[in-house]
Every structure is written in structure tokens, then in C-alpha cells.
Amino acid sequence: MKKLFIACIVALATLSFNVQAADLTEGKQYETLAQSHSAQPEVIEFFSFYCPHCYSFELEYQIPQKIKQALPKGAEFKQYHVTFLGGISDDLTRAWALAMAIGAEDKVKTALFKAAKANTLQSMNDVRQVFLDNGVSAEQFDGGINSFAVTALYNKQINLAEQFKVRGVPDFYVNNKFHVKMDGLSHDNFVQDYVDTVNGLLSK
């Protein structure tokens, strides 16, 4: 009986997820891109520390965190920084590559958002200090910021933004094939609709 109950719960959850995916409308919540579907399920967010909407998504609505928490097993969530919002965007893109390379994203992300909003980031030295103030050692930063691995991640962010033709942020892509259309989501239940749309697209 217990096994039957668990099986029913799993079936209902799967049915709910499939209905959610079927309810998505091409041209409303998403658009399909003319490129190959990714081999593994993944969600990519392009963002900038200078972007006030990205700040709200991350720190107020916590949409990236909610998407990560709702990911099915085997799916990945990646955040890539863009270079087109002025200031020291290029340095921040390289610094974010370092954060990804050493697994320090959660250590420095909030501090970098707040520093950018306060306009206290004027050079890579300012960015370096944020890293040092948030648990990254001077040796990690200085030895990694211009390393081959970090340069490769820096280039990957730029190349993918060009590939997807990103013109504004925050911008979400699913399975390399689907682009989430923010203006097609519910205004009354925006955060949950965003999470549900991403999850639905992961199953397509």
C-alpha cells in the first residue's frame, strides 16, 4: 500500500509537470531558436551586475535561486555575465569567470551586485577587494584572474552572448533551444510563472 501511494504521488507530479509543459505557447512565453538542442538539460541566464532588473531578479525576487531549486535531476543552471552595459563590465565578466572557476559565485555575487549599484567599482582593484572581503584569498585571485582557464570562461561568456544575440538582461535560455519571453509571462504571478516556464521548457 505504501509503495502504491508513493507511485501515485510520483505519477501525479509527473502529470502536473507534463501539463505545465503542454500549456506553454510558442510566441507567448517562449520562442524557439534555430540551433541545436543541448545534449543535457540546462538553463542559462545572461546578466550584469550593473543591471537593476538583474539585481531585483537575484536579490529581491530570487528567481535564479528558485529556478535552481526546481531543476529536475541532471539539469544545470548557469549564469553568464555580459560586457555591454558600460562601466567596467569587461573586468566584471573576467572576475565572474574566476568566480565560476574556483566555485566562489555564491561568496561574491551579492557583494558585487551591491557594489555595482553603489557605483564603487572603478577598477579591477576594486573588484579584487570585493573578492578578498568575501572569502577569496589574494593568492586565488591574483593567480587565477588571468589564467588560461579563466580566460577560456571569459571568452565563453562573450561568445555565447553573441551566439544567442543577447541585447538585454536578465535573459534566460533553456536547452540551447528556447528563449524565455518575459513580456508573455503572468503579471499577477510573475515569479512562479517564470519558474514554471523554465521547468516546462526543460522537458521539451
Residue-wise DSSP of 45-81: EEE-TT-HHHHIIIIIS-HHHHHHHHPPTT-EEEEEE
Pairing of strands 76-81, 30-32: unpaired
Q: What is the pLDDT of residue 12?
A: 38
Those residues with Cβ within 8 angstroms of residue 56's Cβ, 6 or more apart along the chain or in another chain: none
Q: CA 187 to CA 204: how far, in whole Å?
A: 24
58-75 in b/e form (b: 16+ CB < 10 A) is beeeebbeebeeebeeeb
Q: CA 75 to CA 12: how far, in whole Å?
A: 21
**Is 0.75 surpassed by the pTM of this model?**
yes
Q: CA 97 to CA 141: how far, in whole Å?
A: 11
Q: CA 44 to CA 46: how far, in whole Å?
A: 7
Q: What is the pLDDT of residue 14?
A: 39
User: Where exactly are the structural domains of the chain?
Assistant: 41-203
What is the topology classification, in CATH, of domain 41-203? Glutaredoxin (3.40.30)
Residues forming beta bridges with residue 80, ordered by sequence position: 46
Note down pLDDT in tens along the chain; length 204 residues: 434 333 333 333 433 343 355 489 999 999 999 999 999 999 999 999 999 999 999 999 999 999 999 999 999 999 999 999 999 999 999 999 999 999 999 999 999 999 999 999 999 999 999 999 999 999 999 999 999 999 999 999 999 999 999 999 999 999 999 999 999 999 999 999 999 999 999 999
